[in-house]
Amino acid sequence: MFNIIPQPNEIIIKSGRSGFFLTEDTTITKVPLIIDEFRDFVKKTFDIRLHREEKNENCIILTYSDGIEDDEGYRIVCEDSVIEIIAKTDCGLFYGLQTLKQMLLQSFGKIPALEINDKPMYKYRGFMIDSGRYCQSVKEIKRFVNLMAMHKLNVFHWHLTEDQGWRVEIKKYPELTKKGQKRSHTNFGFKSYEGFFTQEQIKEVVKYCHDRFIKVIPEFDIPGHTVSAIACYPYLSCFDRNLSVATHWGVKHDILCAGKESTYKFVFDVLDELMELFPDKIIHIGGDEAVKMRWKLCPNCQALMKKEGISSEDVLQNYFMSRVNRYLNEKGYTSMMWNFESEAGTELLDKNIYWNACSLERNKKLVSDELKSGRTIVNSSTFPYYFDFPHGTNSLKKVYEYNPEIDGGHILGVEASLWTEYVKTRNKADYNLFPRIAAFCETAWSQPEDKSYDRFLYSLGEYYDYLNIYHVRYATLKQANPSRLRSDVEKIVFGRRIFHWQGLHNLIDDAKVRKIAEK
Ligand code: ACM
Ligand code: ZN
């Protein structure tokens, strides 16, 4: 009857009762939550301006009730010209409205008598946008956030610091957004590139997210992916290196020095300002792709290891992450990190740090053991949840059919990521994200037993109609599930990245640093 994405838990059509018909006289009851977006949708789609009034005989009623158990759940009851959305919280009402939009669109405003009962599968339904490689405008970020809310996603993981650019204003370290926000050129262009968010803009985005029941987790990626910060403050690195903001993609060998107290001071100062800006009590501290090349040679890092009895540079990273974690814990915050660098083990790594498990394929056993021993884990596996990867690698079908559960316990949720080194424009981002986000959100929201790839494919036509209203430049089904040939070509095109990365540069730099260290 209705093709709603994500598929609700239960839809019961009630025969023998009259339904609802959207007309010029339809009203919607007054509630504190933001329903402008819903009213704009109705205006855009039906050219009807919903009036906000008390109940009348043809209306949409929003009702609070403790009878709905899940904080994010809702019930929709439609009969006798009235649609009632019932929820315990504003969030539940908001999700009910997202469902109602799709129904109105599909039925030209005429909804039969029915009842829908719905609640999410996972508490954490995340999406990450990389603003480090390219810095989207506030308007673009808000557009993505709104689209994510339509898919009932509720965590915005905002990747704000990168080798290629520092994107968040930190008042105590002004160079970060003077020098650190600008790279002299980019992978495929010879033009310079810059951009950052002021603290006022960050607050505006956070409020926009909160109005849509989305929590915001900022990422301050340390100790790796910090070349833009080191370019501003060379003392942050081992050997006080003079570097430029990175121009090319790839893993850099210069990272924050874990052996100097001045590094911790910088990190804690930045975190102090981030905690002021991001009140949702979780901060992502990166931890990915931190090459230990410099730490092995650095007298400061080595001295700290000796003093603390730390057996290897990998364990030194665990010490570093845990020390930062404890700083956050003292202020009532939880830390989150990528699980990337923990393959060498978790000695000294605090158990209360959440893991964004992106490298699951490589170390399923470790992640599973960690889950068993009590670590909180979000499945953000590169395959299939990195949506910067081509459809040929992470096809719509793969995304849909992927089971995110991990042996050993329950995961907190799932997260999809959009890395942007090769996704500079909004249209490219749209093409990468949609309809994969639709497949992803069914895993995040719908009950596993209600999932059906055939039903999902059948829903896509109407889903595309829905996206058209928001001017989304989605991939077609053929593009999202490419043929073998098309998929091979895509992989080759995507693979050209390796000609643009840091490899050679790293070799030269390594030689330089070895010379300094030998002196
Ligand atoms: C990552 O893919 N570097 C987290
Ligand atoms: Zn060092």
H helices of 288-424, in order, are 293-297, 299-308, 313-330, 364-372, 382-385, 396-401
- Rounded CA separation 480/457 (Å): 11
Judge if the beta carbon of residue 289 lies within 6 A of ligand 1: yes
Which residue positions in the chain have pLDDT lower than 70? 54-55, 500-502
Judge if the beta carbon of residue 163 lies within 6 A of ligand 1: no
Dihedrals φ, ψ of 475, to 5°?
-80, 140
Nearest to 387 by CA among 379, 378, 396: 396
Which residues lie at CB < 5 A from ion ligand 2? 238, 257, 259, 298, 300-301
- Rounded CA separation 430/119 (Å): 27
Ligand 1 atom at minimum distance from 419 CA = 2
Judge if the beta carbon of residue 288 lies within 6 A of ligand 1: yes
Q: How far is the CA of 337 from the centre of ligand 1 (A)?
A: 10
Q: Which of 288, 385, 418 to mutate to test the pocket of ligand 1 (most atoms within 8 A of CB)?
A: 288
Q: Considering only CA atoms, which residue is closest to atom 4 of ligand 1? A: 288
Q: How far is the CA of 66 from the centre of ligand 1 (A)?
A: 41
What's the pLDDT score for residue 227? 98
What digits encode the pLDDT tens for the residues 45-58? 999 999 887 667 78
What digits encode the pLDDT tens for the residues 371-422? 999 999 999 999 999 999 999 999 999 999 999 999 999 999 999 999 999 8
Beta-strand relationship, 215-222 and 282-286: parallel
What's the pLDDT score for residue 178? 98
* E strands present in 66-118: 74-79, 82-87, 110-111, 114-118
What's the pLDDT score for residue 32? 72
Q: How far is the CA of 235 from the centre of ligand 2 (A)?
A: 10
What's the pLDDT score for residue 233? 98
Q: Which of 340, 380, 389, 423 to mutate to test the pocket of ligand 1 (most atoms within 8 A of CB)?
A: 340
- Rounded CA separation 363/366 (Å): 5
Q: How far is the CA of 298 from the centre of ligand 2 (A)?
A: 5
Q: How far is the CA of 347 from the centre of ligand 2 (A)?
A: 20
